Structure 1
């Protein structure tokens, strides 16, 4: 590079690359000269870098789950003790976890699509993730604004929640209507952490004696993971839903596939922000797995992920993509 460049500079800055073994994929974006093709546009994300690449890797990981799930279930590969409540129906049990804000948003319809068409096998959510679905069965949720005055925000909440309690939900718009119809178990490890808890508190005065057996639910969730031939985790958000799905898979020495979607960082030591490698160190994800975390707000990316994974299999198979 020139005889006058000091030797220390040549050594520190102009040193040749010693190995190229890690240089496998060329960074490139979508070629707009080919016109508008949304499928190829989303495929190009994998090679665009940053979170776009994680998006592409997550699509690949979920598609691996689906392919594995659609393979025949070999009886010798899973444990069946005859308990119908923990019966394994697919070669890859897919656990879907999400927080309450996901159901409050328009992602409710995307989740309903997965549950209605039996594309996942187990749901783990929060109290709000259940009650927000029920609330929407009675009245719509309206778009708000983080800058609204508190009084206006309360008024919008009242419009959404001014409902009369009923003993049964019979509404095909509900995620849990289809979960019940398709016998997909729903676990809520903190059922009291929301207005459902408030209602149970009031009920305890009116009709004392209600007991919730949370240990039985935990046993069912963990046994579902233990008895599975293979498992995949799709976790939207963090907190207790993330921990309970991961911990259930710890009981079987780790999930085979995993995708996290959240905006949390790991610097504060929270489980929400913990990366997949933390789960690998605990045995919650298998050491040879290829887990992916997308640092993104879910309403932006999850519908696109479903479009490139579950929806493709479903519509390509003539609306019969499930293996049940």
Structure 2
């Protein structure tokens, strides 16, 4: 007996059972490791003993694990898109070097589609998108009605930082609108109406039938502001597609305009779907960068279905796939539809785009900026 009264005698049978149990446990817990080719990157983060080096910190993301590694992979994927797009491209004899729409838009070795939702134009990412359009770093934009109007409105009146928890009733009584923690005064929309009505009158005199992309192009020209995304899209002949153009303040303006004129504008969405699908079909390779979900995400992916899928794809959103929504679907679901090529390596970063897209642009597009 031990001093605490517990027997310490050894029973041969119990010892034999214990030995057998240990062998079973060891086999289960210490299972032999086999070579796994999926990844040979060792997980490690940034060592701050080396000092503060933001370039190196971002480089360390790919080996950090979790969503940091997805961000690192997204950066590498976009670098590859840019590299291919910038390579010298010669089309086969008899093939037009330009896309049929917009006229004069030259084909690159890779056509880069950028998509974003309206909340991101409401945020400071507007200035990042403007940078990309200003330097002709993208070939096509797809966005929502809010993604158009908020850019134009910001050229007229500013938005302000608020808080997610501001009281909706108080804001309504004060004539303020909240988009997350961005506050947009009602007077901004009044200024938008004052500006756009004469522009719509002018368009109506020229031609009462036009596509959403041609309307956006005209608005970009008329806003005449170098801080505007769509000013630069007009300037650089970058097509902007908006399949849900009536779903926002822009739609409100079209409604007010049609209700107060003897004839109204007719928006031809069919020509635009033909144009974006043709752009995808006639591209040598395609890459897609899609921030957010909804109609923007599907419209770009569906256009690429017509060429049997995009070659490169990066998603940035916080949607989940469990409800079966297209917004939350992982890239693998798009592969099943033929919207992304089977031999591609698409990546989804689960994040608010405002957190990481500036970092991505800093590591990719901004590094490729050719200064005069």
Could you say which TM-score interval applies, normalised by the shorter chain?
A: over 0.9
Contact 1:78 1:228 in 2 (8 A): no
Q: How many Å separate the matches in 2 of 1:39 and 1:106?
A: 22
Deviation (angstroms), 1:5: 4.2
Return 5+ residue gaps in structure 2 as ranges: 1-17, 177-184, 200-221
2:328 alignment partner, SS class: coil
Report the Cα distance in structure 2 between the residues aligned to 1:31 and 1:12, rounded to whole angstroms: 35
Relative to the length of structure 1, the TM-score reads: 0.92
Structure 1 moving runs of 4+ over 4 Å = 2-5
Q: 1:196 aligns with which of 250, 274, 280?
A: 250
Cα deviation for residue 81 of structure 1 reads 8.5
**Alpha-carbon distance, 1:144 to partner:** 1.4
* Contact 1:77–1:229 (Cα < 8 Å) also in 2: no
Contact 2:291 2:316 in 1 (8 A): yes
**Which one has more relative contact order, counting CA pairs under 8 Å at least 6 apart?**
1
For 1:258, what is the secondary structure of its paired residue?
strand
For residues 84 and 19 of structure 2, the distance between their equivalents in structure 1, rounded to whole angstroms, comes to 59
Find the counterpart in structure 1 of residue 149 from structure 2.
131
Cα deviation, residue 16, structure 1: 1.5
Q: What is the CA–CA distance in structure 1 between the aligned matches of 2:290 and 2:123, rounded to whole Å?
A: 16
Distance 2:120 2:239 in 1: 18
Q: Deviations over 1:72-128 (max 9, x none)?
A: 112129953863526443111100000000000000000000000000010000000
Alignment of 1:158 onto 2:186: yes
8 Å CA contact 1:142, 1:160 repeated in 2: no
**Structure 1 stretch 72-81 or stretch 155-164: which is displaced more?**
72-81
- Closer, same or farther: CA 23–244 of 1 in aligned 2, 3 Å: closer
Q: Structure 1, residues 203-233: CA drift from partner, whole Å, max 9, x if none?
A: 2222234211101001001001111111100
Contact 2:102 2:237 in 1 (8 A): no
Q: Does 1:56 align with 2:84?
A: no
Q: Is this contact kept in 2: 1:72–1:91, CA < 8 A?
A: yes
Using the alignment, how far apart are the partners of 1:300 and 1:110 within structure 2?
A: 12
**Which residue matches 2:203?**
none
SS in 1 for 2:161: coil
Q: 1:223 aligns with which of 249, 269, 278?
A: 278
Q: Pick from 289, 292, 311: which aligns with 2:347?
A: 292
Q: How far, CA to CA, are the matches of 1:160 and 1:197 in structure 2? A: 16
TM-score normalised according to structure 2 size:
0.81
State which structure, 1 or 2, has the greater radius of gyration over its C-alpha atoms: 2
Shift in CA distance, 223/88, structure 1 to aligned 2, threshold 3 Å: farther
- Contact 2:320/2:328 (CA < 8 Å) preserved in 1? yes
Confirm whether residue 85 of structure 1 aligns to residue 102 of structure 2: yes
Tell me what 2:236 maps to. Answer: 182
Match of residue 67, structure 1, among 75, 79, 83: 83
Q: Secondary structure at the match of 2:313?
A: strand
Match of 1:237 among 278, 289, 292: 292
Q: Which runs of 5+ in 1 are unaligned?
A: none
**Rounded Cα–Cα distance in structure 1 between residues aligned with 2:94 and 2:351:** 35
Q: Is the 2:116–2:147 Cα contact (8 Å) retained in structure 1?
A: yes
- Per-residue deviation, 1:13: 2.0
Q: Is the 8 A contact 2:102 2:238 kept in 1?
A: no
Range with greater deviation from structure 2 (234-243 or 10-19): 10-19
The Cα shift of 1:49 comes to 0.4
Aligned-partner SS, 1:64: helix
In the superposition, relative to structure 1, how do residues 224 and 78 fare at CA in structure 2: closer, same or farther (>3 Å)? farther
